Amino acid sequence: MSLIVQKYGGSSVADAESIKRVAKRIVQTRRAGNAVVVVVSAMGDTTDELLDLAGQVAPIPAPRELDMLLTAGERISMALLAMAIKNLGHQALSFTGSQAGMITDAQHGSARIVDVTPKRVQEALDEGAIAIVAGFQGFNRVTGDITTLGRGGSDTTAVALAAALGAEVCEIYTDVDGVFTADPRAVPKARKISRIASEEMLELAASGAKVLHIRAVEYARRHGVTLHVRSSFNNHEGTIVYNPAEPGADGNGDPVEEPIIAGVATDLSEAKITVVGVPDVPGKAAQIFNLVAKSGANIDMIVQNVSAAATGLTDISFTLPKSDAQTVLTTLTSERQDVGFQALQHDDQIGKLSLVGAGMRTNVGVSAQLFTALYEAGVNIEMISTSEIRISVVTRADQIQHAVRAIHTAFGLDGEAEAIVYAGTGR
């Protein structure tokens, strides 16, 4: 009997009808002779609604209590799903993250998995039951507290269980047909990708394509878990995320040349801070970024201008998550005298567009083509950064939608038919 781990996202279990529909699908998989472990997210936009609620009682909610609150969302869906399956005449048992042995560090809100001991899940499977596990949550042994893995973390729960239980495949069920060349909500002509290399998927996820949690992609790659992203609303084949380094990863062995560009992603979650008038002497960047690091912010892009000869002063700009900006501004302001800069600028109206493709390694001119296409679309570039297989640019936030469509077309990624989004609010 082969073991399949299936993860259902919030939009796939948004209401009672959806839960019943998903229950049927799970029972079919079980009746086809597979052992099944299911990971569920909270119903619909429950997590966002709980976050809003927390914000109404405290501007900065206590992290421990916030995790306690948010994990309630997945508890609701796991119990309802187990009831629906039982009602179809099959055995099912639901488990919280801690019951399922998801052991994490103590970092509330972004805990990392340190051990997976799914003893009770295995026992349920041995009894022939379908095991339902609450996604996105874990337990720290030292503090004895409940933790969460970060937004979108149910994907990672599913992959970690698939690895620990030696599952054949980890299926990620969502509200679109798989991984597309761009977000189908923003680019109607986005095309579904049948197979994508894990390194490209990692870059897309890191660049804002939220269809997969980046840590799920990393975990799957490290533990050799096959990921299959597909829709819970039909039986179409979705997208397989494969590791080119693994023997046999190329499937039928066809020496098909991969396309140069895999896809394009956008991210509106970052802000830009500019430190104006920094003395252009050794040690100033170190001083600034040590302060930034101390405030716990994750820096993305950094740009330093050429200093003006007359003043010997330069400007340093960097991008970071919007949610980290206020703390960083406060920290830098308090050290202004010591660092010796003139002023700080904060801009939260930026958007980032990233073009991703392993073929960039061996093809020159991709950046020139990108910049030309942006120019022709009338989009101004404010910052640029590159990796081996990615080029990212920062633009005005209100231009990002227009820019991503133009770039998608310019790189020949447009598909024939309009991409379908089956559910969800895109929140």
The residues binding ligand ASP (CB under 6 A) are 9-10, 41-42, 47, 73, 135-136, 151-154
Q: Which does 73 bind (CB under 5 to 8 A by kind): ligand ADP, Mg ion, ligand ASP, none?
A: ligand ASP
Identify which of residues 175 and 300 has a Cβ nearer to ligand ADP in the complex. 175
**Interacting span for ligand ADP (CB under 6 A) from 32-40, 136-144, 180-188, 372-380:** 180-188
- What's the Cα-to-Cα distance from 31 to each of 25, 40, 112, 124, rounded to whole Å? 10, 20, 34, 16
Number of residues in contact with Mg ion, rule: CB under 5 A? 2
Backbone φ and ψ for 321, nearest 5 degrees, come out as: -60, 140
DSSP 6-66: EEE-GGGGSSHHHHHHHHHHHHHHHHTT-EEEEEEPPSTTHHHHHHHHHHHH-SS--HHHH
Among 6, 41, 148, 319, binds ligand ADP (CB under 6 A): 41
Q: Which long-range contacts (CB under 8 A, 24 or more apart) does 212-215 make?
A: 212/152, 212/155, 212/172, 212/179, 212/241, 213/149, 213/150, 213/152, 213/153, 213/154, 213/155, 213/156, 215/112, 215/149, 215/150, 215/153, 215/155, 215/156
Count Cβ neighbours within 10 Å for each residue of 373-399 and write b for 16 or more, e otherwise.
bbeebebeebbebeeebbbbbbbebeb
Among 90, 210, 228, 396, binds ligand ADP (CB under 6 A): 210
From CA 99, how far away is CA 97, in angstroms rounded? 6
SS3 content of the chain, % helix, strand, coil (to 5): 35, 25, 40
Which residues, 95 to 154, sit near ligand ADP by CB under 6 A? Answer: 152
Residues in the chain: 427
Q: Is 263 in the site for ligand ADP (CB under 6 A)?
A: yes
Q: Is 176 in the site for ligand ADP (CB under 6 A)?
A: yes
Identify which of residues 69 and 260 has a Cβ nearer to ligand ASP in the complex. 69
Identify which of residues 135 and 332 has a Cβ nearer to ligand ADP in the complex. 135
The side-by-side arrangement of strands in the sheet containing 263-267 is: 263-267, 350-356, 390-396, 383-387
The SS3 call for residue 285 is helix
Q: Is 101 in the site for Mg ion (CB under 5 A)?
A: no
Q: How far is the CB of 149 from ligand ASP (least distance, A)?
A: 8
Identify which of residues 9 and 61 has a Cβ nearer to ligand ASP in the complex. 9
Q: How far is the CB of 73 from ligand ASP (least distance, A)?
A: 6
Q: Which does 151 bind (CB under 5 to 8 A by kind): Mg ion, ligand ASP, ligand ADP, none?
A: ligand ASP
Q: Which does 11 bind (CB under 5 to 8 A by kind): Mg ion, ligand ADP, ligand ASP, none?
A: ligand ADP
The SS3 call for residue 305 is coil
Q: Which does 61 bind (CB under 5 to 8 A by kind): ligand ADP, ligand ASP, Mg ion, none?
A: none
Identify which of residues 96 and 239 has a Cβ nearer to ligand ADP in the complex. 239
Q: How far is the CB of 15 from ligand ASP (least distance, A)?
A: 16
The side-by-side arrangement of strands in the sheet containing 113-116 is: 113-116, 102-104, 137-139, 146-148
Q: Are 174 and 216 in contact (CB under 8 A)?
A: no
Q: Is 152 in the site for Mg ion (CB under 5 A)?
A: yes
From CA 256, how far away is CA 277, in angstroms rounded? 52
From CA 239, how far away is CA 220, in angstroms rounded? 14
Identify which of residues 120 and 185 has a Cβ nearer to ligand ADP in the complex. 185
Q: How far is the CB of 211 from Mg ion (least distance, A)?
A: 7
From CA 196, how far away is CA 169, in angstroms rounded? 16
Q: Is 238 in the site for Mg ion (CB under 5 A)?
A: no
Q: Is 175 in the site for ligand ADP (CB under 6 A)?
A: yes
Among 95, 136, 139, 180, binds ligand ADP (CB under 6 A): 180
Rounded to the nearest angstrom, the gap between the alpha carbon of residue 213 and the centroid of all alpha carbons in its chain is 3
Q: Which does 86 bind (CB under 5 to 8 A by kind): ligand ADP, ligand ASP, Mg ion, none?
A: none
Identify which of residues 175 and 315 has a Cβ nearer to ligand ASP in the complex. 175
From CA 43, how far away is CA 75, in angstroms rounded? 10
Number of residues in contact with ligand ADP, rule: CB under 6 A? 23
Identify which of residues 113 and 328 has a Cβ nearer to ligand ADP in the complex. 113
Q: Is 174 in the site for ligand ADP (CB under 6 A)?
A: yes
Can you give the binding site for Mg ion, defined by CB under 5 A? 9, 152
Can you give the binding site for ligand ADP, defined by CB under 6 A? 9-12, 41, 152, 174-176, 179-180, 182-185, 204, 209-211, 263, 421, 424, 426
